[in-house]
Structure formats: C-alpha cells, structure tokens
Amino acid sequence: IEVIQGNVFLKDLTATGMEVIPLDADGRPLAEAFPAERSSEAWRIPLGEFATTWYLILVHR
C-alpha cells in the first residue's frame, strides 16, 4: 500500500465528538484512536500517517 497524504471531510454530521481508529487488513487496530478535528462546517480526518485503507470511525452524539 502506498501512503498518501490527504483529508476526509464529513459534513452535516451532528456529533459531539469523533474518534478514528486505523485498521489492518484483518480489522485489527494499527494504533490508538485519534480525534477527528471539528470546524464550523465539517469534521476533518487526516490521512497519511498509516498505511491502511480501513478506518473505524466512532461518532459520539
């Protein structure tokens, strides 16, 4: 897997918090959960630190 830098933006999502867990090909965590960043328009999830195509996103309401 080639690691790329970028962001995923989730708009119009009502939440009090959001955590992201990068997963390996078997669905196991690669690292501890990290918080998504909140702006006035969207939640931002930064990509590029982990070589993965799978993430578990925990939405807190």
Determine the pLDDT at residue 1.
76
Q: Determine the Cα–Cα distance for residues 45 and 39; give it in Å rounded to an integer.
A: 11
Asked if the structure places residue 1 within a domain, the reply is no
Q: Determine the Cα–Cα distance for residues 17 and 43; give it in Å rounded to an integer.
A: 9
Residues in CB range of 9: below 8 A, 6 or more apart: 42, 43, 44, 45
Q: Indicate the pTM of the whole model.
A: 0.89
Count of domains for the chain? 1
The parent domain of residue 23 ranges over 6-60
- Residue 56 and residue 23 in contact, taking contact as beta carbons nearer than 8 Å: yes
For the chain, 61 residues long, give each residue's pLDDT as a single digit of tens.
789 999 999 999 999 999 999 999 999 999 999 999 999 899 999 999 999 999 999 999 9
Asked if the structure places residue 17 within a domain, the reply is yes
Asked if the structure places residue 21 within a domain, the reply is yes
Asked if the structure places residue 40 within a domain, the reply is yes
Asked if the structure places residue 15 within a domain, the reply is yes
Q: Determine the Cα–Cα distance for residues 33 and 18; give it in Å rounded to an integer.
A: 10
